[in-house]
Amino acid sequence: MENLSEDIADLDSEIDVVTSRMLSEWDWKAQERAFGKKDLESTSPESSFDSMCSSPEMSSRSRHQSFGHFSYVPGHSRTPSATSQKNKPKMSTKRRMKASEREKMRMRSLAEALHQLRDYLPPDYSKRGQPLTKIQTLKYTIEYINELSDMLNHT
């Protein structure tokens, strides 16, 4: 029981380390471990060709509906009025692709951090032996930390 506070401190610092590491650097080796070669290929800088295949010009245009001369990206309900959009110059294709790559990396590091966080939860949390979803991971983590805090407070 006395180890509890150490455990919490450990967990805390580990989470810190993990998140800061994931956010500050992009370790391709780790990526290979986490996502496998196929994904890696698709994320290496040169392979931004993959993202090209899945990028605005190549795939997204085919994946998302394309209506004639303009590309309709459904669901941009937040898009302001047509007038205000007219005033705003569109991002260049090159810049858009770069932004997409960054966003992809960002979301992957987030997913990786969640995977690692999942490892700190006791196995009881994953019922039926299925891996926890992202949301479950976050919710159970909160639950777990609360439990640990309660235990600490009652010692």
Q: Where along the sequence are the contacts to DNA (CB under 7 A)?
A: 23, 39, 42-43, 51, 54-57, 59-61, 63-65, 71, 73-80, 85, 88, 90-91, 95-104, 106-108, 111, 128, 130, 133-136
Six token digits for residue 48: 């931004």
**Residue 128 C-beta-side C-alpha neighbours within 13 Å:** 4
Q: Kindly tell me which of 90 and 154 has the beta carbon lying closer to DNA.
A: 90
Asked if 57 and 93 touch (Cβ cutoff 8 Å), the reply is yes
Q: Write out 91-111 in H/E/C secondary structure.
A: CCHHHHHHHHHHHHHHHHHHH
Smallest gap from Cβ 8 to DNA, in A, equals 25
Q: Kindly tell me which of 51 and 141 has the beta carbon lying closer to DNA.
A: 51
Q: Kindly tell me which of 8 and 15 has the beta carbon lying closer to DNA.
A: 15
Q: What are phi and psi of 123, to 5 degrees?
A: -60, -25
Alpha helices by DSSP H, the chain: 3-24, 28-43, 48-53, 61-63, 82-87, 93-119, 134-153
Q: Kindly tell me which of 5 and 79 has the beta carbon lying closer to DNA.
A: 79
Smallest gap from Cβ 150 to DNA, in A, equals 27
Smallest gap from Cβ 98 to DNA, in A, equals 5
Smallest gap from Cβ 88 to DNA, in A, equals 5
